[in-house]
Amino acid sequence: MASICTQGASPAAKVRQTRSRGVWTDQITGSFRKISVHQLTMAWWCFQAKHITKRQLRVYFAAHEMAARRRFNGSEHCRFPLEEVKRLVGGRGSQTADAELARDVRRLARLGLVTISEHAIAFAVSIEQIHVEEISGFWTMFNAMPHQRRSVPVPRRMLRALAAGYTTGVTAVVLATMIRSLFWHKQEGGYRTDGRTKRKWIADVFGVSMRTVTDAKARLTELGWLIPLDTPQWLLNRYGAHDRINIDWIIESNHESSGGGVSCESSQGESASPRRDLGGGSASPDLTDSSSSNEEELNTRRPAQRADSSGASLRSALGSRKKKSRRRSRIRSGEQGGVGGANIRDIQTRDLTDTGRLLELHRQAVELGLAKNGEGGRLDFVSLAERARTRGKNPGAMFFWLLRDKKTAFITQADEDEAARRIKTHLYGDSQRREQWGGEPVRQPRSNPPEWSDDEKVVLACIQTARKHRVTEPFSLARQVKGWTKDRWDSAVIAYESKRMERFRFNTVEFPEGE
């Protein structure tokens, strides 16, 4: 009977029917980067053995994202500026941060883990390429890894999140889960996204405590990246928890969202400000001290009542100016048109998950001089809220501290992209209308993809020809063949990149598969 049912099926369908047990998918949303188990183990061991700092480990993941981005765009020979590293890791707008990140890049190059030059990125593929004397600890860790010769299809969205920074425990659980649960099978023609992992194995191999593993798994489940599956107790005791990686993962920003993301509104009624307890869950870097880990920095450092650039401290801005007493009382009582009682003096978790309430907090913060007005100030405000919501155990208190001390240097590209998406969705609605039909979103019919203009076609042809013939600079082809100037080339490239993203949004998948 089974043979009769499969006679008229397509080859791809026949392959899917022969897949072994497990959770399978045909593609990873957002593309991926192939990283070997040896490289992942090597990077974590270097951090665990204190050869690199936590931020240098984040720079390593940022380098993988930058390499994947160039390969995806078909422009491997483009420049790799330090500004791009700062956007992924954090630290923009600070000369101290520039110097520290440049020093981190040089340290990784001297160690041999990754070399980021102006036009290329080179990764170490074996521990023998690392310039350290004692490597017995690496082999002890590597021998405990399963499937040592394979490559892990690491989702690029998770690469950007790792570069933006998680706690040590969360990073360890992410790496362990991907090694044990994320596979690409050529024979089955797809990706398997589930696996079993014991907490004790993660704790022993990655050098963290059992409690840290438990908290990290709970955090990843809350963010929606890790989805626990029902497991009988005898299997749980013998093989560990059965979890699935959400390869369609994107951090949900609204507590009303459904699907793969999980709301962070677990403590709506709990006020989070103005306490100083940041919960120890932040991964924001201290950009003036590259030798201290993020957890130690935020667990031991108590923010002082420092003055801002104008010389006014938080206490003077919020509590000692008599001429603002009426305004403060109106804000406290919610008489200034607050959305649902959102109050800058009493930041709650639901204020960070609801974009409308967050924008109301921004309006109040502008009046009190805690935030800048305009689109740029609004984007920074929401980015800081996104940073606190996804990185802190006590998001409201962490956001209060970031806002008070004007820690905009902690904003990463992942935080800013998510903030821009939240603001755009709130102001203009979802780009694709969703209608509930049987519990599933229904897409509206789409028009034809946008067409390339003449200049954009020239840019596309030059990029493809340069890649085929290994020409370093595609602009040289446009100058020789078309007589273009540099200004015209730059304008055409900007238009080409914009049109390319529009064409990708037209497709069902946001990004095609990576390597």
For the chain, give every domain's residue range: 24-245, 264-291+317-431, 454-506
What is residue 318's predicted lDDT score, i.e. its pLDDT? 45
Range of lowest pLDDT (60-64, 158-162, 418-422): 418-422
CB-CB contact of 176 with 216 (8 Å): no
One-letter amino acid of 185: H
Confidence of residue 172 (pLDDT cuts 50, 70, 90): very high
Q: Mean pLDDT over residues 199-225, rounded?
A: 90
Question: According to the model, what pLDDT value does residue 239 have?
Answer: 84
The 10 Å Cβ neighbour count of residue 286 is 17
In the prediction, which pLDDT does 75 show? Answer: 57
pLDDT for 306 beyond 80: no
Question: What is the DSSP secondary structure assignment for residue 127, as one 8-state letter?
Answer: G
More confident residue, 187 or 508: 187
8 A C-beta contact, residue 396 and residue 352: yes
Query: pTM surpassing 0.75?
Result: no
Q: Do residues 113 and 60 make contact, with C-beta atoms less than 8 angstroms apart?
A: yes
pLDDT digits 0-9 by tens, 411-425: 888 888 888 888 888
Contacts of 396 (CB under 8 A, 6+ apart): 270, 271, 272, 273, 347, 348, 349, 351, 352, 388
Helices (H), 11-143: 11-17, 37-48, 54-73, 82-89, 95-111, 136-143
And the tokens for 492? Answer: 């055409």
Measured over the CA atoms of residue 343, residue 347, residue 350 and residue 351, the dihedral's sign is positive
Mean pLDDT comparison of 207-211, 277-281, 495-499, highest-scoring range: 207-211
User: Per the structure block, which two tokens stand in for 212?
Assistant: 């840290």
Contacts of 484 (CB under 8 A, 6+ apart): 458, 475, 478, 492
Residue 86 or 163, more confident: 163
Supply the Cα-derived Rg of the chain in whole angstroms. Answer: 25
Q: How far apart are CA 300 and CA 199, in angstroms?
A: 27
Q: Answer whether residue 301 shows pLDDT above 80.
A: no
Residues 315-335, mean pLDDT to the nearest whole number: 44
**Is residue 274 reached through a cis peptide bond, with omega within 30 degrees of 0 on the bond before it?**
yes
Nearest partner of 153 among 41, 63, 251, 37, judged by Cα: 37
Give the per-residue pLDDT at 182.
87
- 299 band by pLDDT with thresholds 50, 70 and 90: very low
pLDDT given at position 176? 94
Nearest-angstrom CA–CA distance, 66 and 106: 17
Q: What's 313's DSSP letter?
A: B
Average pLDDT score, the chain: 74
Mean pLDDT across the stretch 82-105? 82
Worst-scoring range by mean pLDDT, 255-259, 428-432, 434-438? 255-259
Mean pLDDT of the region 62-68: 90
For position 139, what pLDDT does the model report? 93
Quickly count: other Cβ atoms within 10 Å of residue 287's Cβ: 21
